[in-house]
Amino acid sequence: MNTLQDLTDYLSPVEPSYLNDDLEFNDGQYGKHIQVFETNFPDLSTVDLVILGVGDMRGANPFAEPSNGPDLVRQAFYRMHCWHDDIRVADIGNIKAGATLADTIAAMKITLTELFQAGKTALIIGGSHDLTLGQYETHKSLQQVVEAVCVDAFIDLKGDSTRRDENFLMDMLTGEPNYIRHYSHVGFQSYLVHPRLLETLDKLRFDCYRVGKVRETPEEMEPVIRSADILSFDIQAIQHAFAPSHQASPNGFTGEEACLISQYAGLSSSLKSFGIYGYQPEQDTEGMTAQQIAQMIWYYIEGLYRKKMEAPFEETQSFNEYHTLLAEVDTRFLQSKRTGRWWMQMPDGQLVPCSESDYQKAGNNDIPERWLRIQERR
């Protein structure tokens, strides 16, 4: 494959009349600001973000027809107002459903490979949660070692389940050869997860964050997501009241908290793809889940805009620098004057994302847990 144009073999264009009931978008709406694959494939050379729909739900139900969920999310998102037109967005349509689920994931992998090699970031509007494998398999085919974050009420490691969306993490985390440097699970609900799963992940030195803990200090998740190459968000992590298309749990994140996590994703300089999965339009009450996902996308772009404000480390005048003695080693902490974000220096000299509370703990002669977890993985 030589050009991004060749991707049209795997993609279905966006149907414009479906998005706004044949009405014109006004100048402030995203529908006027996005390059859309309708008849001609967009020029992606100057684009910051590429939207890709993948409506295959066979990981949740082997007999499911391709979902129109991605188009319903588009319908909601395109009508929202654009506040940052210097973040250039393109929508390249939907992956055509393959003869099998594996074929769909293969087409997704080919598409993402081309986008990554062109230096583009992808926003994926899913299908079933196991399509996360398309994100991971892309990096695996490029032999890139990655950090991955999943936001989900469940931990999809159910080896005895026949549903692909309930066991796909087995392949991702234990398959050989393996390209996962680190995995973090955000927002699990304890009553939905077998305790042994947490023990297994802890033995692998992976990190799991219970939904209640995240809700107490959501800012602690920003460094976790900042380090990720892959972010996968199952809407089952959101309270049913805010995302009524799922029946998993009445509890979880609020809509605002889901948007905050999405904004953190936009702030990440390492993130290559952000997938939002699990939307079932046939169960959606008055399109509220589509609106929720669309607002998450809006906040993701808000994060992309804020990220552009960040200075490189070489621009030392843009950072506050602090030193503290940590494990008998002089440890440097940096705080960005532009975004307020923090980094700490590990004993090998590498700067890693952290939070203000990590600095405060170090200043009180208490080794931050984040420092310990990172150090024990080295």
Q: What is the pLDDT of residues 209-231, one digit of tens each?
A: 999 999 999 999 999 999 999 99
pLDDT confidence of residue 5: 58
The mean pLDDT of 167-172, rounded to a whole number, is: 94
The mean pLDDT of 307-335, rounded to a whole number, is: 91
Confidence of residue 35 (pLDDT cuts 50, 70, 90): very high
The mean pLDDT of 60-88, rounded to a whole number, is: 94
Neighbours of 364 (CB within 10 A): 8
Confidence of residue 317 (pLDDT cuts 50, 70, 90): very high
In this predicted structure, the answer to whether residue 2 has a pLDDT above a threshold of 50 is: no
The mean pLDDT of 45-72, rounded to a whole number, is: 95
- For 363, phi then psi, to 5°, come to -65, -20
What pLDDT, in 10s, does the model give residues 43-53? 999 999 999 99
pLDDT confidence of residue 17: 76
- 36 three-state secondary structure: strand
Both tokens assigned to 73: 């999310």
| 49-63, 92-106, 171-185, 327-341: the lowest-pLDDT one | 327-341
Confidence of residue 360 (pLDDT cuts 50, 70, 90): very high
Please, which residues have CB within 8 angstroms of residue 323's CB and are 6 or more apart in sequence?
A: 330, 331, 332, 333
pLDDT confidence of residue 272: 97
pLDDT confidence of residue 12: 95
Confidence of residue 3 (pLDDT cuts 50, 70, 90): low
Q: Are 60 and 128 in contact (CB under 8 A)?
A: yes
What pLDDT, in 10s, does the model give residues 227-281? 999 999 999 999 999 999 998 889 999 999 999 999 999 999 999 999 999 999 9
Which one has a higher pLDDT value, 355 or 23?
355
Architecture of domain 4-307 in CATH? 3-Layer(aba) Sandwich (3.40)
The mean pLDDT of 129-154, rounded to a whole number, is: 97
In this predicted structure, the answer to whether residue 321 has a pLDDT above a threshold of 90 is: yes
Please, which residues have CB within 8 angstroms of residue 372's CB and are 6 or more apart in sequence?
A: none
pLDDT confidence of residue 138: 97
Q: What DSSP assignment string belongs to 60-102? A: T-TTPPPP-HHHHHHHHHHTSBPS-TTS-EEEEEEEPP-SSHH
Q: Treating both helix axes as pointing N-terminal to C-terminal, what angle do 288-307 and 69-78 enclose, rounded to 10 degrees?
A: 60
pLDDT confidence of residue 22: 72
Q: Where are the domains of the chain?
A: 4-307, 316-376
Q: Are 58 and 128 in contact (CB under 8 A)?
A: yes
- Helix (H) or strand (E) holding 231, with range, is strand 230-234
In this predicted structure, the answer to whether residue 1 has a pLDDT above a threshold of 50 is: no
* Mean pLDDT of the residues in the chain: 93
